[in-house]
């Protein structure tokens, strides 16, 4: 999900070239798209790029939703230091 935090007076769209579509940033709006096909493969039609900002600054917040949970890939430690020696992210 893409949440624009600023208004832009010129440029700054998010372009989906394979779909021939653009999303223009507007503060307070939100854009959401599925980037996976029903079988779980990536949907290449949703590849996108940011167009240059011609006036002003573009600030956006992205929220990522995952198809599967991650709770068992790297479980939270129950006690301080329980995962000592493992990489911290």
Structure confidence by residue, pLDDT tens digits, 25-50 = 999 999 999 888 888 888 999 999 99
Instruction: Report which of 23, 22, 24, 12 is spatially closest to residue 50, judged by C-alpha positions.
Output: 12
Give the whole-angstrom CA distance, residue 12 versus residue 35: 21
The DSSP bridge pattern shows strands 49-50 and 2-4 to be unpaired
Do the Cβ atoms of 77 and 83 come closer than 8 Å?
yes
pLDDT of residue 89: 47
Structure confidence by residue, pLDDT tens digits, 48-69 = 999 999 998 999 999 888 777 6
Taking all residues of the chain, what is their mean pLDDT, rounded to a whole number?
83
List, in order, residues 6 or more apart from 5 with CB less than 8 Å away.
27, 59, 60, 61
């Amino acid at each position: 999900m893409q949440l624009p935090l600023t208004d832009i007076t010129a440029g700054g769209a998010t372009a989906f070239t394979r779909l021939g579509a653009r999303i223009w940033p507007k503060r307070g709006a939100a854009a959401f798209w599925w980037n996976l096909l029903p079988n779980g493969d990536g949907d290449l039609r949703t590849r996108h790029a940011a167009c240059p900002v011609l006036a002003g600054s573009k600030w956006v917040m992205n929220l990522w939703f995952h198809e599967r949970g991650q709770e068992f890939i790297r479980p939270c430690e129950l006690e301080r230091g329980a995962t000592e020696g493992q990489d911290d992210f």
